[in-house]
C-alpha cells in the first residue's frame, strides 16, 4: 500500500493478491451471496484505490480494508431490505444447495451428526447480533488482533472482547446441547 500511495501503479496488483481472498471470504460469510460479495470486494478495493493518496505511512492496512468492507456491506444490506420492501421480492435461499448430501465415505451417522451440528452452529452465528457476529468473524476467521478489530468496529478493545466472548458463549452452548466438548 505504501508503494501504491507513492504512485507505483503496479503495486495495486500485489495489494489485490494480499487482500482480496480475505475480503471475499469475509464478505461471502457475511452476505451469503457470492455475487454481492464479489461486487462489495471490488467496491472496497476501489475505495482504497481512490483514497491511496491519504494513506498514512506505516498504518495497518487490514483493519482499514475490513472497515470499508463492513461499511459497504451494511449499506448494501440496508438497500436490499428497502428494495425487498418496495418490490416484495422473496428472499433467495442460498444455503439450500450447500447442504445437499454428497456421497458418504465415512459412517453415515457421523456425517449426518456433523452436518446437523454445522447447520446449528451456522444458524446460531447468523442469529447473533451483528456486532457480536462481526467481532467473532474478525477475530476468529480473519485473525485480526483485538486492536485491529476494535478499529474496524469503531469501538474499544474491551467492547470487542465482550462481544466476542458473548459469541463464544452462545456457540459453546450449541456444542454442549449437541453433546460435543466445548
Rounded distance, CA 7 to CA 107, Å? 57
Q: Which of residues 32-51 bind other proteins (CB under 8 A)?
A: 38, 41-42, 45-47, 49-51
**Binding status of residue 168 toward other proteins by CB under 8 A:** no
Among 115, 156, 173, 182, binds other proteins (CB under 8 A): 156
Decide: is 3 part of the binding site for other proteins (CB under 8 A): no
Q: How far is CA 146 from CA 54, 108, 158, 176, in A?
A: 24, 40, 9, 27
The only residue of 144, 153, 164, 167 in contact with other proteins, by rule CB under 8 A: 153
Cβ atoms of 61 and 151 closer than 8 Å: no
Cα distance between residue 138 and residue 132, in whole Å: 10
Which cell numbers hold the place of 67? 472497515
59 binding other proteins? (CB under 8 A): yes
User: Which residues 6+ apart lie within 8 Å of 173 measured at CB?
Assistant: 182
The overall longest dimension of the chain from CA atoms, in Å, is 58
Residue among 74 and 182 whose Cβ is closer to other proteins = 74
State in angstroms the smallest separation of the CB of 110 from other proteins. Answer: 32
The residues binding other proteins (CB under 8 A) are 5-7, 9, 12-13, 16-17, 20-21, 24, 38, 41-42, 45-47, 49-56, 58-61, 63-64, 67-68, 70-72, 74-75, 78, 150-156
Amino acid at each position: 500500500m505504501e508503494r501504491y500511495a507513492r504512485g507505483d501503479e503496479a503495486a495495486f496488483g500485489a495489494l489485490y493478491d494480499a487482500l482480496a481472498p480475505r475480503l471475499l471470504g469475509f464478505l461471502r460469510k457475511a452476505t451469503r451471496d457470492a455475487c454481492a460479495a464479489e461486487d462489495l470486494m471490488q467496491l472496497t478495493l476501489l475505495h482504497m484505490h481512490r483514497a491511496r493518496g491519504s494513506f498514512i505511512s506505516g498504518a495497518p492496512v487490514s483493519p482499514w480494508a475490513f472497515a470499508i468492507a463492513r461499511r459497504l456491506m451494511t449499506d448494501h444490506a440496508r438497500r436490499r431490505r428497502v428494495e425487498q420492501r418496495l418490490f416484495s421480492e422473496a428472499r433467495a435461499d442460498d444455503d439450500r444447495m450447500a447442504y445437499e448430501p454428497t456421497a458418504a465415505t465415512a459412517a453415515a451417522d457421523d456425517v449426518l451428526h456433523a452436518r446437523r451440528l454445522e447447520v446449528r452452529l451456522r444458524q446460531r452465528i447468523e442469529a447473533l447480533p451483528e456486532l457480536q457476529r462481526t467481532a467473532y468473524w474478525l477475530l476468529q476467521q480473519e485473525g485480526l488482533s483485538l486492536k485491529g478489530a476494535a478499529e474496524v468496529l469503531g469501538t474499544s478493545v474491551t467492547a470487542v472482547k465482550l462481544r466476542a466472548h458473548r459469541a463464544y458463549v452462545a456457540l459453546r452452548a450449541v456444542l454442549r446441547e449437541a453433546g460435543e466438548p466445548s
